[in-house]
Amino acid sequence: MKNRGLLLFLMLAFYLPVSAASGTYVITDYGAVGDGKTLNTTAIRQAIEAAKKAGGGRIVVPPGTYLTGTILLASNMSLELQAGAVLKGSSNVRDYSLPGEGETFSAGARDTASIGLITVRDAVNVSILGPGTIDGSGTSFMDLEKLHNPIDYLPERTRQRRDFTDPVFGSDDGPVLPRPRPERMILFSNCKNVVLRDLVLVDSPCWTVHLADCDGVNVDGVRIHNNMAIPNSDGIHCTSSKNIHISGCDIRAGDDGIIVSGLGDKAGVSEHVTVANCTITSRSAGIRVGYGENDIRDCIFQNLVIYSSNRGLGVFARDNGSISNILFSDIIIDTRLHTGHWWGKGEPIHVSAIAQTGQKPVGQIQGVRFSNVQAKSQTGIVVYGVKESVIRDLWFDKVALTITNGPLSETYGGNFDLRPTANLSTNIFEHDIPGLYCGYVSGLRIRDFQLRWQGDLCDYFTSGIKCENFEDVLIEGFDGTAAPTGGDSPPIELINGKGATIR
């Protein structure tokens, strides 16, 4: 009997891929071909299925370019892309689908275009590791000859009226028009203990990495280099997740760089997120915090460089979820105006609370601090609350800002962009541009704010600091003036408030 058992074991080992015996599943052992032409979805799924039956393992992608549709990872798996390996998403939207409920990977699949390239659901202990590359083929889903330009504002409310965003002033920044496309490149949904490390992620068709309802994620040394003209090609999007740590990343995204939001179908909270030592360029905000029904709290963003972005740092209350205890520190920001439909108008810092629907009240923003920030921009800092949601306990400590004109200052500048709001008239509208504007604030602290105006400026630049509808404001150590083009505008302008102290 012992001899028969040994013989059976040897026979099984003979028929298994050699690598599987050590818990390693090389996709070429299951028929994958790295020629950049062969569709390898079935072969990669078979390697993953073999690892799943064994309780987990290493899925290895060797050097070569492997075309694939959707693949689904499971618990206790590590997808490892070796140096020279490229996992390339198919340019055919029909290749993005998942197996039906209860079916194995080799069975038929649903045609679901919203599914992305790599999907992980309800899993623990999952890693995706480099140094190889994942290519989303995003540009192939775009119409590069047409602009994406929905009119979600009233042109007559803007400073430029009907000329606002006219392509005659340029279209180099896009955004281009999407065709039907996968919605995510990598999705982790309701997962725990996730690691993304030393990866190169390029040309995502929409969100690059989506962390949804996750707990315990480390993202380290990841490079995201997207086509900057693709709308919604966000870098790392965290929705209702907690204990997320992002560090050492280089993110170049056609929309927001890193996002922490309270979006999601499940009740929960976004909390305990740290982002450090990253460089980011974006067509929207480098860092965006906000949106969703769930609260966002206790997050730190530090040691960052944000450059050539439409916005630098943004905090947005638009739904029921409130935002509290957010710290931004030791950050260099360079923002400018961009052509096209991108949200934002060059603000280095933007904080706003205004409902995006008429049916639900907007949450509160409280306890946000900006410390040791050096910025250069083509517009001022905007803090915009409303009577129903006053922004409370907001600190600007050691912020230095230089404002200058740019090539689009006349054709795009001199407006506040609050999109999305419940009313088209408040989405984008003409407004004077102080160095720092604050409306509907309480407990505002401005300490050691340095403001410089540079070059020939537009005449819509006005005061150095302007606060209206305020309560309990401290301005201490302001080093700056009104804009040279500001006419009679004072360095500090306080309107309709109480409890102001200036030192």
Full pLDDT tens readout for the chain, 503 residues: 445 544 444 444 444 565 666 799 999 999 999 999 999 999 999 999 999 999 999 999 999 999 999 999 999 999 999 999 999 999 999 898 876 544 343 333 333 345 789 999 999 999 999 999 999 999 999 999 999 988 899 999 999 999 998 889 889 999 999 999 988 999 999 999 999 999 999 999 999 999 999 999 999 999 999 999 999 999 999 999 999 999 999 999 999 999 999 998 787 899 999 999 999 999 999 999 999 999 999 999 999 999 999 999 999 999 999 999 999 999 999 999 999 999 999 999 999 999 999 888 899 999 999 999 999 999 999 999 999 999 999 999 999 999 999 999 999 999 999 999 999 999 999 999 999 999 999 999 999 999 999 999 999 999 999 999 999 999 999 999 999 998 899 999 999 999 999 99
Give phi and psi for 140, each to the nearest 5: -70, -15
Dihedral sign, Cα of residue 349, residue 355, residue 360, residue 365 = positive
Query: Radius of gyration of the chain from Cα atoms?
Result: 25
Q: Is 190 left (phi over 0), alpha (psi -120 to 50) or beta?
A: left
**Alpha-carbon distance 169 to 158, whole Å?**
16
**Alpha-carbon distance 242 to 487, whole Å?**
49
Cβ atoms of 335 and 404 within 8 Å: the answer is: no
Single-letter amino acid code for the residue at 39: L
Please name every residue paired with 326 in a beta bridge, in sequence order, or none if there are none: 299, 368
Cβ atoms of 303 and 277 within 8 Å: the answer is: yes
**Alpha-carbon distance 185 to 278, whole Å?**
21
User: Which distant-in-sequence residues (6+ apart) come within 8 Å of 5 by Cβ?
Assistant: none
Cis, peptide link before residue 175, omega less than 30° from 0: yes
**Alpha-carbon distance 159 to 241, whole Å?**
39
Q: Is 101 left (phi over 0), alpha (psi -120 to 50) or beta?
A: beta
Cβ atoms of 319 and 239 within 8 Å: the answer is: no
State whether CATH 1.20.58 applies to domain 136-502: no
Tell me the whole-structure pTM to 2 decimals: 0.93
Q: Is 19 left (phi over 0), alpha (psi -120 to 50) or beta?
A: alpha
